[in-house]
């Protein structure tokens, strides 16, 4: 499509949606990049770069670091815009009520009120309205990825069986804290694309060996989803990592950097930050909960408000077990005062596990939602226990699924990025890495 015609179409789209005022704003602002039939403006890009710079403590006076950050943030925005477009096509939205619940939960998890969370964000120099809308977009993208990628991942019984066999025989380090750099190749990479990516990965590897900071390099150069976090993947079980990573990590010591590792996504460089030995012990949690299911007579807001009221009563001295017996709609635990007994990691659904992990013994959660309804949970105690075959199987299912989701998500993001129409309008944003896509 002729470049002028396409830009005119994009501007007319903005005009139709936001009237002449929006058109004038774009004219004054300037277009950074066209993504399919939408635009990312220079002002949007500037806001996002400044927000990330504040988080990463990068000064605008550091021209090379700021330029590298700008490149990464722009790519992050392009990928997000493509995903938001896909979400809009299939009708994924987050309304204000749902967004408010998430922000309240975020505030409470940090022992803050919503007003205190707003004050803290503004004190860090970030606009709360932008933070709020960015949170909405992040939630939409998370739902999109769940629907199109995560929900389609399956784990076979054979995979679980093999995991258990390997884990029972494994006496080596089995948990790794890893930093990661990806130099991506296109989905239909030509030999020259692969050669170019390999040369870049080799050059980065040599600079890291010479003492270049890994996390700074990840922010500047990595195409991975964690680039803006310095490539930090956090702690991962061996089974959650690609086998090629694990093979490299077995021969690495703390602080070592791997040579570039080839995969379908491109070339990976990993750094071993720390590792821990497999002691075949698990932390079990003893918890109880109250479940309220929605119905034609009780919607989400009603279920949540009921649990808020029950939490207030418990904090004023009411007995949790008695209220669970009276109100809970979980037939398996209701008669036991909501008691779930001792549970291994991976025994519950994701929303339940995530909330349980944030609670200290004795602490009661805010109301949260799972596919079964709305819950109020209290963690009673935790203990270390020898890992049983049953807990290994639960762990296997969770870790194998996470690894497969990570791999498929990486490929899916690359595929939708390659299929999108991307036009860099501001010449200063064109780099050797993105020039080919014009």
Contact 375, 358 (CB under 8 A): no
Which pLDDT tens digit goes with each residue over 290-318?
A: 999 999 999 999 999 999 999 999 999 99
pLDDT at 3: 39
Element (H, E) at 40: strand 38-41
pLDDT at 20: 38
Q: What is the average per-residue pLDDT within 30-42?
A: 92
Q: For residue 310, what are its two tokens?
A: 């029950």
pLDDT at 29: 67
* Candidate from 60-64, 164-168, 191-195, 416-420 with smallest mean pLDDT: 60-64
CA-wise closest residue to 369 among 283, 322, 299, 285: 299
Whole-Å CA distances, 310 to 16, 22, 111, 328, 355? 49, 47, 20, 11, 18
Q: What is the 3-state secondary structure (H, E, C) of 45-104?
A: HHHHHHHHHHHHCCCCCCHHHHHHHHHHHHHHHHHHHHHHHHHHHCCCCCCHHHHHHHHH
Q: What is the average per-residue pLDDT within 166-170?
A: 62
pLDDT at 89: 95
Q: What is the average per-residue pLDDT within 74-84?
A: 95
Backbone angles phi, psi at 66, to 5 degrees: -70, -35
Contact 426, 42 (CB under 8 A): yes
Mean pLDDT of the chain, nearest integer: 85
Assign 382 to helix, strand or coil. strand
Is 50 exceeded by the pLDDT of residue 14? no
Q: Is 93 exposed, middle or buried (0-12, 13-18, 19+ CB in 10 A)?
A: exposed
Assign 283 to helix, strand or coil. strand
Which residues 6+ apart lie within 8 Å of 389 measured at CB?
164
In angstroms, the CA 429 to CA 73 distance is 11
The pTM of this model reads 0.63
Is 70 exceeded by the pLDDT of residue 12? no
Is 50 exceeded by the pLDDT of residue 5? no
Q: What is the average per-residue pLDDT within 334-351?
A: 89
pLDDT at 420: 94
Q: What is the average per-residue pLDDT within 410-420?
A: 92
Is 70 exceeded by the pLDDT of residue 323? yes
Is 80 exceeded by the pLDDT of residue 366? yes
Give the pLDDT band (50/70/90) at residue 379: very high
Domains in the chain, CATH or no CATH each: 1-89+423-438 (no CATH), 168-279+398-419 (3.10.50.40), 281-386 (3.10.50.40)
User: Cα–chain-centroid distance for residue 14?
Assistant: 30
Is 90 exceeded by the pLDDT of residue 280? no
């Amino acid at each position: 499509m002729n470049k002028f015609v396409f830009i005119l179409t994009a501007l007319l789209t903005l005009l139709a949606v936001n009237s002449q005022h929006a058109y004038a704003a774009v004219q004054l602002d300037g277009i950074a990049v066209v993504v399919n039939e939408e635009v990312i403006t220079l002002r949007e890009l500037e806001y996002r770069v400044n927000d990330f710079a504040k988080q990463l403590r990068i000064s605008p006076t550091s021209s090379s670091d700021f330029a590298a950050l700008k490149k990464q943030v722009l790519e992050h925005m392009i990928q997000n815009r493509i995903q938001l477009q896909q979400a809009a096509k299939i009708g994924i939205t987050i309304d204000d009520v749902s967004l408010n619940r998430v922000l309240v939960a975020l505030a409470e998890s940090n022992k803050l009120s919503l007003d205190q969370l707003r004050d803290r964000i503004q004190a860090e120099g970030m606009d709360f309205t932008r933070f709020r809308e960015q949170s909405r977009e992040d939630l939409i993208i998370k739902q999109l990825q769940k629907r199109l990628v995560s929900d389609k991942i399956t784990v076979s019984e054979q995979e679980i069986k093999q995991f258990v066999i390997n884990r029972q025989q494994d006496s080596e380090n089995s948990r790794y804290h890893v930093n990661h750099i990806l130099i991506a190749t296109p989905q239909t990479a030509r030999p020259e694309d692969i050669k170019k990516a390999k040369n870049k990965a080799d050059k980065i590897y040599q600079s890291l060996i010479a003492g270049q900071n890994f996390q700074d390099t990840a922010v500047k150069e990595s195409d991975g989803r964690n680039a803006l976090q310095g490539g930090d993947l956090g702690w991962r079980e061996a089974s959650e990592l690609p086998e090629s990573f694990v093979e490299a990590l077995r021969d690495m010591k703390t602080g070592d950097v791997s040579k570039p590792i080839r995969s379908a996504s491109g070339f990976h460089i990993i750094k071993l930050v720390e590792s821990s030995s497999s002691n075949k012990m698990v932390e079990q949690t003893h918890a109880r909960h109250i479940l309220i299911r929605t119905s034609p007579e009780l919607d989400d807001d009603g279920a949540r408000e009921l649990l808020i009221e029950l939490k207030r009563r418990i904090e004023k001295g009411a007995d949790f077990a008695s209220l669970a017996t009276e109100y809970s709609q979980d037939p398996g635990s209701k008669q036991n005062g909501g008691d779930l007994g001792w549970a291994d990691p991976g025994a519950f659904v994701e929303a339940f596990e995530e909330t349980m992990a944030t609670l200290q013994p004795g602490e009661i959660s805010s109301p949260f939602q799972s596919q079964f309804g709305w819950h109020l949970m209290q963690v009673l105690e935790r203990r270390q226990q020898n890992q049983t075959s049953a807990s290994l199987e639960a762990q296997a299912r969770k870790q194998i699924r996470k690894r497969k989701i990570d791999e498929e998500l990486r490929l899916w993001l690359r595929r939708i990025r390659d299929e999108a129409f991307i036009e860099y309008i501001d010449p200063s944003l064109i780099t050797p890495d993105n020039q080919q896509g014009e």
